[in-house]
Chain A
């Protein structure tokens, strides 16, 4: 079945450590996204990528980094510079451009900083 796979589902991190969240899609979608979800705040865009080897900052990119070396993969690194990293992270993808296509989401990764 086609879809988006995020791993790990739960992750615990000590302060000062970098962690990487994995996102893989087999939908052959061009665009991929990372969102952060906090209670009562909806989804906020961290980074997005329209094509391999290219990505743009979203609204809350500080303290995060991404890469897009392959069409199907878009990993997110939460760095020690992110001051409040505890959150639910969602990866998504969409077909084509113009924003007409819906987003397909993974099951999410919950990061907790100890």
Chain B
């Protein structure tokens, strides 16, 4: 069965510093991968997705992620954190087999320090 692991349930960075949120997946076949952001008491919004095209994926709000098959990773980065980036971030994987099932990680809450 597929699974997603997000290392670090809480991450703190200073404003202007690099943001790095880690995601590793478990799948025998490279899946489709997604990063979502959630602000308090709201639904999730897509940041970016990987669907077997370019391995470096650029998303909204200056975020990007790199798919590394050898490391089974899809880490999310942003060169310079902004206060508005404070939120919870979820990595998700979907099954290429068309089962319509998306598996989510447990989330990483990002705190940005002034």
Contacts and interface: CB of A to CB of B under 8 A. Distances in A.
B90 A103 contact: no
A107 B41 CA distance: 7
Contacts of A107: 41-43
Given A41-B106, A42-B107, A99-B95, A105 B45 contact: yes
Interface stretch (B12-20, B69-77, B79-87, B96-104): B96-104
B90 A43 contact: yes
Chain A interface SS verdict (over half): strand
Q: Say which size band chain B's interface belongs to.
A: 20 to 34
B43 A98 contact: no
A64 to B, nearest CB: 16
A100 B96 CA distance: 7
A100 to B, nearest CB: 5
A99 B94 contact: yes
Interface string B49-78: 101000000000000000000000000000
A1 B43 CA distance: 16
B26 interface: no
A100 B43 contact: no
Given A42-B90, A50-B100, A100 B51 contact: yes
A110 B100 contact: no
A97 B95 CA distance: 10
Contacts of A40: 9, 106-107
A21 interface: no
